[in-house]
Structure 1
């Protein structure tokens, strides 16, 4: 049954690559260009998944558990993760799918993300993770704290996201678009050439995220989409060879690489691109930071910001907030700061005789 993880991961990697869906870009754009377009698309995934996951819970297919809220680890880890994704040039899924495109910088980020996640979850630094995550409160979800049915929250979330989508679509209608002539037709054009709209991509990812729940549960892994835990398992497996670690989640993340590679090759976007030394160092530091932050926070932009938010977990929404804040601080230092320096540099005067 774990082969379904590989199949779903391959589809997900294909969709992420073809849709150019970058969570780092969604968070970064909030600060650098004051755009909410991609963040709205991200919230579409959360809203779509929220409908599906609570329907599955109501039907008895899965059984959601409110759990606890390890607030200290979530806050610190979320901020670290958000800061690190700017250095790495992508979040967990972004790093996987860009690695499949041939970006060597993402290869470095991915290797050290796996190493960092393994070290902080199962290795010599796991004690720090246990310590920060031991500081917790008992009510783990918003519906438990308020004593209401989660469907009230689902309706409010869908309504809010719906309004945001309509606003974005109205803005887009006022923009004149220029399209290059199509080189392919039919399904080949749609799958490998046509630019996918962010909201369409988001809806597809949301449906895939819903499907992940029963497929994962069928193998005994009681969770939905997740990247950090499976990535940590890869790191431990490479060091120990323990076949017990090979589960649905590990198949999922391996599928991300396969799917993104297929999409990049089919669309002509695969190319080995070697970064400069500074980018390489940043990718390594960013990868380690992602592994560290995700371990302390209990998940990355997928497991926390996309999945746990859909179940109205305090951990998920808190992690989302502090990931955005971390991204904003890093963007100000490494992106916006450099732009200001370039804009305010004093030009050299040349004397002409």
Structure 2
């Protein structure tokens, strides 16, 4: 039943909103603040999903083939997508869940993202997108198949490395921050008031990503979480009326919005926030770049960065690397360079005689 997509998406949107799971901020902080915590959280979600999905595959619940990879298209697309999410203020999933919080800038970014994804997949740029993905094709996308080894030979060491990273992070001396007196008690405090640990949030996201596989496969869509194609499908349905575009993935992304809205309202974090003109323009440009990049790369921060990495594919890990490089490049021009110029101008004023 495709309605399970709505339930899965609502759960994902709820968890992401309450856990403030933002890959855009996480990738940016790796460069600007030298803080890798959110990246480590992503690795946890990947590890949880990878173990679960390959167990299901080995048990014969469903079959999956990673297929081939267009390396150049993935590299360029992921880099462009990384630039786009900095300008948009959120990645594909982050844009959906922040729109559910009432952030108008995310609505603007989402409009650009859906529009350009549609143009790239079935519009005037569809032939360009297809040609790009058919160039420089490497026949084997699976890392394990490339080296002729069992997938567990890759998964088990990866899980061990992630476990060691988590242990090291959790055993670091903690800075004690005085907690505010809770206004709620019991489950309500935990769900809607208490600050969620990013590693707990990541574990829950990994479980949801795992559940998405059999639920989606039951409808004939053998894949996990995905944002770009379903987002384009919504606009394709609205403009053509073709019910063939309504699928499990469409219900998934709509569920993310609904789940985030519920979480934001219950935690009293929902409010409409209008961006200034510059931010609004950047959001729309960023959304368009996200649509172009994700279409070329065959996935976004979730499709490639979470799902295809868990499937231990070249597409996932190469895409993740260049996505991060794209965010760092954009972060330099959007955040670092302006600060450097402002600092230099201030120093010049201080040394210039009146």
Q: Give the TM interval when normalised to the shorter protein.
A: over 0.9
Cα separation, 1, equivalents of 2:98 and 2:66: 34
Which structure 1 residue ranges, 4+ long, deviate > 4 Å from structure 2?
347-351
Aligned to 1:91: 91
Cα separation, 2, equivalents of 1:344 and 1:61: 61
Aligned to 2:169: 168
Give CA-to-partner distance per residue, 1:238-262, whole Å, 9 cap, x none: 1111111111000000001100000
With over 3 angstroms needed to count, the CA separation of the structure-2 counterparts of 1:174 and 1:131, relative to structure 1, is: same
Structure 1, unaligned runs of 5 or more: none
**CA positional deviation for 1:62:** 1.5
Aligned to 1:197: 197
Aligned to 1:155: 156
Q: Are the counterparts in 2 of residues 18 and 191 from structure 1 also a CA contact under 8 Å?
A: yes
**CA positional deviation for 1:349:** 6.6
Q: Does 1:137 align with 2:138?
A: yes
The count of corresponding residues between Structure 1 and Structure 2 is: 351
Q: Does 1:251 align with 2:251?
A: yes
Cα separation, 1, equivalents of 2:325 and 2:291: 18
Q: Are the counterparts in 2 of residues 66 and 144 from structure 1 also a CA contact under 8 Å?
A: no
Cα separation, 1, equivalents of 2:52 and 2:281: 41
Give CA-to-partner distance per residue, 1:174-223, whole Å, 9 cap, x none: 32222111110111111111100000000000000000000000001111
Structure 2, unaligned runs of 5 or more: none
User: 176-185 or 82-91: which moved more?
Assistant: 176-185
Q: Are the counterparts in 2 of residues 100 and 257 from structure 1 also a CA contact under 8 Å?
A: yes
Give CA-to-partner distance per residue, 1:283-317, whole Å, 9 cap, x none: 00000000000000000000111000001111111
**CA positional deviation for 1:170:** 2.3
Cα separation, 2, equivalents of 1:26 and 1:174: 20
**CA positional deviation for 1:66:** 2.7
Cα separation, 1, equivalents of 2:148 and 2:63: 18
Cα separation, 2, equivalents of 1:272 and 1:96: 15
With over 3 angstroms needed to count, the CA separation of the structure-2 counterparts of 1:142 and 1:349, relative to structure 1, is: closer
RMSD over aligned Cα, in angstroms?
1.5
**CA positional deviation for 1:169:** 1.4
**CA positional deviation for 1:350:** 12
Q: Are the counterparts in 2 of residues 81 and 292 from structure 1 also a CA contact under 8 Å?
A: yes
With over 3 angstroms needed to count, the CA separation of the structure-2 counterparts of 1:65 and 1:276, relative to structure 1, is: same
| SS of 1:62 mapped into structure 2 | coil
Alignment of 1:113-124 (within 5 A): 113-124=113-124
| SS of 1:11 mapped into structure 2 | helix
Q: Are the counterparts in 2 of residues 26 and 42 from structure 1 also a CA contact under 8 Å?
A: no
Alignment of 1:254-273 (within 5 A): 254-273=254-273
Alignment of 1:266-345 (within 5 A): 266-345=266-345
Cα separation, 1, equivalents of 2:282 and 2:66: 37
